[in-house]
A = this chain, B = another copy of it.
Amino acid sequence: MSSYRHIVIFQFKDSASPAKVQGVVEAFKALPGKLPAIQAFEWGTNVSPEGLDQGFTHVFTLTFASKEALEKQYLHEPAHQAFVAMLGGLLEKALVVDYNAA
């Protein structure tokens, strides 16, 4: 009954326009409708008061049944790859960590 969490954290380049950033968010939000392996999706912009965000601003948490579901039904799917292609030139940095929730 464990859940596999896939956490994606972005910092956009200063040159990324608000419209482009919003486009990335909307495209990410659209993925669960295209890829049913995504069991849950949530996101938000960073509001931590602690100052340990290292410049990251956008956080997305996706839930899959398992690492196998991520690998076989998400990472290489055309809808996901089209999303990744959208990111080109817009990201200052990205961090991805996954864990089996315990």
In the complex, besides A47-B99, A49-B70, A52-B94, 11 extra interface pairs with C-beta distance below 8 angstroms are A5-B42, A5-B59, A43-B99, A44-B99, A45-B99, A47-B100, A49-B67, A50-B75, A52-B96, A53-B97, A56-B97
Residue in chain B with minimal CB distance to A48: B98
Q: In the assembly, what is the distance between CA of A53 and CA of B52, in Å? A: 16
8 Å CB interface, A32-54 against B: 42-50, 52-54
Interface size on A, residues (CB 8 A): 32
In the assembled complex, the CB of A84 is this many whole angstroms from the nearest CB of chain B, namely 10
Residues of B within 8 A of A99 (CB): 43-47, 59
Residue in chain B with minimal CB distance to A6: B48
